[in-house]
Amino acid sequence: MDNIFQSRKTIRKYINKPVDKETLVKILEDATEAPSWANSQPWELYVAAGEPLEQLRAAYLESFEKGDPGNLDIPAPKAWPDYIQDRMSKSAEKMFHAMGIAREDQEARKENWRNNFKFFDAPVAVFLCMDASLTEWSILDLGHFSASLMLAAKAHGLDSTPAASSVSYPQHIRRILDVPDNQKIVVGIMLGYADESHPYNKPDSSRVPLEEVVRFRGI
């Protein structure tokens, strides 16, 4: 049987099934056990479901359809090192093949991208924020929290999706979820129950072998 690290995967389509608040509280309580520098616990969390999440979905889709440019609080890299770009390109090619989306099918590719701005039809979105004065040190802590959140979700029977696209339009998140300007919106993580039959959930991403990324010294 797969362990929790192997069974967790990024889900790109959810069924229409709500998540009860009691389960969310348990997941968040577990996730807040994540380590942080000097126990600073810099994460600020906004959990959206129901009508607020539907308002966000509508606002995001409107911006997407209009072609509004994204405006991430944490700027995306302008370029990746060649070896990392190669990994990403191969992964994307494998993903689209598993979904049954041909390279030349631009309409299907647009619909797949549009799905991101619907938050994958997830019933819950958790937005991770931090004080705008903080640095990369605290972003690392939010990374710890993100991993803990997704593993906690799996432990409690839910699936998850970390998505940079979900914070593409921070102005909508600030307005609808009342996030103050003195907080950076770092990432969104969707939670819910996977639509196991949907082709968007067919891909299984691979991991590079240990010898490619690990250098043992003295052992």
| Residue 39 counted as domain residue | yes
**Whole-prediction pTM value?**
0.94
| Residue 8 counted as domain residue | no
Residue 204 banded pLDDT, cuts 50, 70, 90: confident
Residue 18 is encoded by which pair of tokens? Answer: 């709500």
| Residue 64 counted as domain residue | yes
Contact by Cβ (8 Å): 46, 127: yes
For the chain, the domain total comes to 1
The CATH number linked to 52 is 3.40.109.10
Residue 45 banded pLDDT, cuts 50, 70, 90: very high
- The number of beta carbons lying within 10 Å of the beta carbon of residue 218 is 3
Query: Which residue stretches of the chain are H helix?
Result: 4-7, 21-31, 50-66, 82-99, 106-117, 136-155, 170-177, 210-213
The mean pLDDT of 80-94, rounded to a whole number, is 93
| Residue 62 counted as domain residue | yes
* One-letter amino acid of 115: N
- The number of beta carbons lying within 10 Å of the beta carbon of residue 170 is 21
| Residue 172 counted as domain residue | yes
Choose among 24, 21, 20, 15: nearest CA to 189.
Answer: 24
| Residue 22 counted as domain residue | yes
- What pLDDT shows up at residue 213? 94
The mean pLDDT of 166-186, rounded to a whole number, is 98
Residues 6+ apart with CB under 8 A from 17: 123, 192, 193
How confident is the model over 59-85, as pLDDT tens digits? 999 999 999 999 999 999 999 999 999
Residue 205 banded pLDDT, cuts 50, 70, 90: confident
Residue 131 is encoded by which pair of tokens? Answer: 């004080």
